[in-house]
A and B are shown apart, each in its own frame.
Chain A
């Protein structure tokens, strides 16, 4: 079974621009979560989608948004980029929502650099 794939792997943008990152979950997985990883803050939860609906959201500004398609693929968008948005963005999929425990399988991440 193919793992979680994320595209692109690397991205360089300038302040003020917007960016869209893509995630394809493991086949059959319907839950997709997004995380931001930085050296200073570590891994922080952005949001989770299940069956095209956002189920949970972390403490990030409204510039960060996401969506999920009917085939479970997900995208996240960051508008009006700031220098502090430079980070590794990780996507994780699981078979069902994270209400109890469900193992999350992570992709390799998209490294975003904002200049």
Chain B
């Protein structure tokens, strides 16, 4: 079993929809939780990171961490075609960054 599990999708939604992306993990040592976005033919770029359980909001994006359930989420409100990309969750412990498989998101105009 992988340390971090993420549904690879693909996920297709209409413009304006609310998107929910999720990851589960098994390692209680993970302390930092991140979401990266990767456009085609580009390297991943950091969207958001959180340290503790709870919510963190940045514009249309909300990251949620539930350490008791070992579950993290990323919500995208009012999704735009420019949000079409692969979204990767990542978690760090002991100096290593462990990524989920990535979810491919397509937002249709």
**Which chain A residues have a beta carbon within 8 Å of chain B's beta carbons?**
4, 33, 35, 42-45, 48, 55-56, 58, 90, 92, 97-101, 103-109
Contact = CB atoms under 8 A, between A and B. Distances in A.
A106 B47 CA distance: 13
Contacts of A35: 99
Interface residues of B, number: 22
Interface string B86-97: 001010101111
Given A43-B102, A100-B32, A101-B32, A108 B43 contact: yes
B92 A106 contact: no
B96 A101 contact: no
A100 B102 CA distance: 23
Given A43-B88, A98-B97, A99-B95, 17 more contacts: A43-B90, A43-B99, A43-B102, A45-B98, A56-B95, A92-B43, A98-B92, A100-B31, A101-B49, A103-B49, A104-B46, A104-B97, A106-B43, A106-B45, A108-B41, A108-B43, A109-B43
Shortest beta-carbon contacts, A-B, top 7: A106-B43, A43-B99, A101-B32, A42-B101, A98-B95, A56-B95, A106-B44
Given A106-B44, A108-B43, A42 B102 contact: yes
Contacts of B49: 101, 103
Interface of B: 31-32, 41-46, 49, 51, 88, 90, 92, 94-102
Contacts of B32: 100-101
A106 B41 CA distance: 12
Contacts of B41: 108
Contacts of A101: 31-32, 49, 51, 92
Contacts of B98: 45
Nearest to A109: B43
Of A44, A45, A103, most B-chain CB atoms within 10 Å: A45
Contacts of A55: 95
Contacts of B94: 56
A109 B94 CA distance: 25
Contacts of A105: 45-46
